[in-house]
Amino acid sequence: MSKRGLLSPDSVDSLAPAPSASRHSLLRIPFAGSQPPQVSEGGEREKCASKGSRLERFSCWCPKVMAAIGHLPETLADRCIVIRMQRKTQGQECEKLRNLDGSVLRRKCARFVMDHAKKIASAHPAMPAELNDRAADVWEPLFALAGSASDEWIEKARRASLGLTGLAEESSPLAILMSRDPELF
């Protein structure tokens, strides 16, 4: 199994805020990497290698975490699991992320994948009918992992996929409130 990285740009909204050639170039990376290389022709991009001007090809097939203020471009958000974040209130206390030691979780995840690699690789999980085709494609790897864990995790994945996909499609705070608790209205 080859090692893959994690693409994690911050403030993607400010990298190329207006429609432009540079914005289009930036968005090509996540678009090309939304399917495994054997499925997505062009799932590789070129980059300059070290200090030279030699171009190397690299795979874009990896997890991507992108942070932005406001909304992602629609074409990008449609290929993502969108988790809306909000600033903590003045009275809230949270542990600082910089204090997080992810080594135990990373080790447990690696062990789980090694123990279940064949089952994960051959999985064709049933996806919720409520998800559109692209959302189902985005969520399928997580359903494959959940199915390798237990029925309880499949149900958690189902609820998360429907909840997060529904919230991502809503841009109106009132619509979000109504979907969460219709008895308020």
Alpha carbon distances (Å) from 135 to 94, 121, 168: 31, 20, 11
One digit per residue, the tens of pLDDT, for the chain of length 185 reads 445 555 666 566 665 555 666 566 666 666 665 566 554 444 555 454 555 666 666 666 667 777 777 777 777 777 788 887 778 889 988 888 788 888 999 899 999 999 999 999 999 999 999 998 888 988 999 999 999 999 999 999 999 999 888 766 655 555 555 555 555 44
pTM of the model: 0.67
The DSSP secondary-structure symbol of 80 reads S
- Which tokens is 12 given? 């993607």
